[in-house]
Amino acid sequence: MFMPFDENRGKGRGKKVEAPRKTKANNSTSDVSNYYKNNDRILFDEMPFPDIYFDVNGTRVPAHRGMIVSRCPPFAKIFEGTTTISNNHQTVVQIENIEASTLKSFLEYIYCEECKIENEKSALDLFELAKTNSLPNLATLAEKYILENISTDNVVKVTTLADKYSHIQLLEAACRFLAQNFDQLFQDENSPYKLSGLSKNTFIKLFHEKKRPNHVKPSIEQHSTNIKFRRDNPFL
């Protein structure tokens, strides 16, 4: 039986293509792949002979410079001119604005292409790390966690982050949550949930979400007197 042309299986139209048979070579390749994958996990879990340490608020997180350089070149730029030598001759890089557990999850992904996300804040930080260091699969993992855990505690941060990176799916989900809970979040002028940090496009999305008939009135305009905007807000 002749199969249609498939550029991924064979060259030339009408060439007979059979399912690949298992060979010693194929098994060997699989064994090698599994071997390296298992070794990467052991390397991360046991962290033998580290040659770099990240200092996160006094917590030292060990790593291997070569692994980071080969797996995530954008993040490896952190080594340029930022390292110090401690009293015990350890090469140390200072890391700010991130928790040690989040950095460990980030490094786990670099080593093993999988990681544990402990909470919403960690997911948001990992999403930003993934975006700034060109790790789209990690961004997808973090995005999934964020979408499942949007709450009043993180919705403004989610909205601002999604707006910063023009991430439509996250932005729409956050705007929908904001609109559905607008009265609860913005009724008090002293509420921490103000629109001051959101861009014009985000505000427009929120406005359209609010105008949908399944959302509770009154509309956003009637609450505008209770919202304080920053000087750089596009509506001023």
Sign of the four-CA dihedral 166, 167, 169, 171: negative
Q: Could you tell me the pTM of the whole model?
A: 0.69
Rounded Cα distance, 226 and 231, in Å: 16
Q: Assess contact for 227 and 197: CB atoms under 8 A.
A: no
Q: Average model confidence (pLDDT) for the chain?
A: 75
More confident residue, 207 or 28: 207
| Number of neighbours of residue 37 by Cβ within 10 angstroms | 12
Which pLDDT score is estimated for 231?
A: 34
Which pLDDT score is estimated for 224?
A: 36
> Residue 199: which of 166, 152, 150, 154 has the closest Cα?
166
Q: Assess contact for 135 and 72: CB atoms under 8 A.
A: yes
> Based on the number of CB atoms within 10 Å of its own CB, is 207 exposed (0-12), middle (13-18) or buried (19 or more)?
middle
Q: Assess contact for 157 and 142: CB atoms under 8 A.
A: no
> Based on the number of CB atoms within 10 Å of its own CB, is 36 exposed (0-12), middle (13-18) or buried (19 or more)?
exposed
User: What are the beta bridge partners of residue 53?
Assistant: 62, 92
HEC secondary structure over 28-78: HHHHHHHHHHHHHHHHHHHCCCCCEEEEECCEEEEECHHHHHHHCHHHHHH
Share of the chain above pLDDT 90, in %: 40
More confident residue, 186 or 46: 46
- pLDDT digit string, tens, across residues 70-122: 999 999 988 886 667 666 778 899 898 899 999 999 999 999 999 999 999 99
